[in-house]
Amino acid sequence: MKKLWQKNYQVDAAVERFTVGRDRELDLLLAPYDVLGSLAHGTMLHEIGVLTDQEWLQLQAELRTLYQRIESGDFVLEEGVEDIHSEIELLLTRKIGDVGKKIHSGRSRNDQVLLDIKLLTRDRLQDIVDDAAELFHLLLGLSDTYQAILLPGYTHLQVAMPSSFGLWFAAYAESLLDDLIQLQAAYKIVNKNPLGSAAGYGSSLPLDRKLTTQLLGFDDLNYNVVYAQMGRGRMERVVAQSLTSFAETLGNMAADLTLYLSQNFDFVSFPDEITTGSSIMPHKKNPDVFEILRGRCNRLKALPNELMMIRANLPSGYHRDLQLTKESFLPALSELQQCLRILIHVLPHIRIREDILEDEKYKNLFTVDAVNRLVADGIPFREAYTIISKQIEEGVFQPPAATQHTHEGSMGNLCNERLQEIEKEIISGFPFEKIRSALDRLLGSSNTVNRNAKAT
């Protein structure tokens, strides 16, 4: 089948297979977004007189029909068709003839794919925000439920000071807040419109780029058309860096849980069905879910470097190297979401051991509390430290009968209500409602991009 760019020769089959790679497979993920971009671009072409009223009515109707086909799952990339942009144009042309060929006026496949990836990324980031918010509230709920149950805190993996499950759960909840702030910064870079930059040098047609920006719900433009193309791969790297922030939070929690589940710690447990067994040791209940979670998070942490290296030393302008970014970036968006969802699924089943600190080996957890009690009685800190150290050396140290931690963020004053306020402030900073309304208008209905169609 003839390609959009094809001249009077055939590309070598081996060369074509090598250069196409997984592009066709990944392009299916871009299908609804390519239609949305065409709807916005077509509206603009009509406004500037490239499309007549009748031509635009035909194109608009057929594009909306195609969108519904994609949403229903009744859509494939035909054999011999190079990419999703070619498929959409081919289907339009089959249906409405030469009018379908006009949709490509004033744009290139370069700014089409830039736009499609941004629209998909924007959508997936909303899914991630939604799931991160759900996990945040789950963690805060567990923090409130188990705030009074103590567990040992460690430094250098040595018994250090008393902690609590309230502190532990809330620590990861607050970590998610910083992750969301970093994601919000990346989102602002995503939410700029590259459409109209064409192949990186603009168009001699009087394109109204501000109109397509408004129609697609973007906050602003990538103004400079050369920079719009330079942003390919760069945007993905910036987003990947924000994904690694979440990966660090989730991976650290998974590492804690693998330790806490071991017999040497025995701080928590889960129902048998959440663990896995051994093929040789009948007693084993392995924390595979948390080990796989940790491994996936570590893999995500490597992504920014991979994307940076694909772009390394490229001069300005488009280069085919950038096609490779899709192969690692698009699946990563789904992978992080799967990591969030598995924690949301299993954490409600956690069982907390309540008598951990009754073990004699945790007696010295309270040495700092004993020092602080002497300080509160007026003894200088260094002298109080020496007194308690001597008691420990002589084996006569006895922990205080009760300790109170009252400052903000301590065991006795978690400040979880303030964390909830901060979470609301962060979430309100994402323009999700503005985007939804814009896409509703573009589609002429209340059916925006299918929120359940996750990347795979």
Quick: pLDDT tens for 48-88: 999 999 999 999 999 999 999 999 998 988 888 888 998 99
Q: Of all helices (H) and strands (E), which one includes residue 193?
A: strand 192-193
CB 111 within 8 A of CB 194: yes
What's the confidence (pLDDT) of residue 25?
77
Do 133 and 205 fall into the same domain? yes
Number of domains in the chain: 3
If one counts every other C-beta atom within 10 angstroms of the C-beta of residue 319, the result is: 14
In a domain, 451, yes or no: no
What's the confidence (pLDDT) of residue 141?
97
Helix, strand, coil % over all residues of the chain, rounded to 5? 65, 5, 30
Do 278 and 388 fall into the same domain? no
Where a domain ends, among 105, 121, 150? 105
Cα(450)–Cα(315) distance, integer angstroms? 37
In order of 146, 148, 375, 423, the CA distances from 410 in angstroms are: 14, 12, 19, 19
What's the confidence (pLDDT) of residue 123?
97
Residues of the chain with pLDDT under 50: 1-2, 5, 446-456
In a domain, 238, yes or no: yes
In a domain, 4, yes or no: no
In a domain, 258, yes or no: yes
Do 408 and 420 fall into the same domain? no
Do 420 and 435 fall into the same domain? yes
Do 284 and 167 fall into the same domain? yes
- Closest of 171, 127, 181, 131 to residue 147, by C-alpha: 171
Using a 10 angstrom Cβ sphere, with 0-12 exposed, 13-18 middle and 19 or more buried, the burial of residue 409 is: middle
What's the confidence (pLDDT) of residue 79?
84
CATH number for the domain including 75? 1.10.275.10
In a domain, 446, yes or no: no
In a domain, 177, yes or no: yes
Do 144 and 190 fall into the same domain? yes
Quick: pLDDT tens for 353-376: 999 999 988 989 999 999 999 999
What's the confidence (pLDDT) of residue 324?
87
In a domain, 3, yes or no: no
Do 126 and 82 fall into the same domain? no
CATH number for the domain including 312? 1.20.200.10
Cα(429)–Cα(211) distance, integer angstroms? 23
Helices (H), ranges, 146-269: 165-190, 209-215, 225-230, 234-261
Where a domain ends, among 73, 105, 137? 105
Do 94 and 161 fall into the same domain? no
Do 402 and 426 fall into the same domain? no
If one counts every other C-beta atom within 10 angstroms of the C-beta of residue 12, the result is: 10
The pTM of the full predicted model, rounded to 2 decimals, is 0.91
Do 410 and 421 fall into the same domain? no
Where a domain ends, among 48, 75, 105? 105
Quick: pLDDT tens for 408-433: 999 999 999 999 999 999 999 999 99
* Structural domain boundaries enclosing 405: 359-414
Do 300 and 381 fall into the same domain? no
Outline where DSSP puts E strands in 333-449: 351-352
In a domain, 400, yes or no: yes
Read off the DSSP letter of residue 315. Answer: P
Do 252 and 170 fall into the same domain? yes
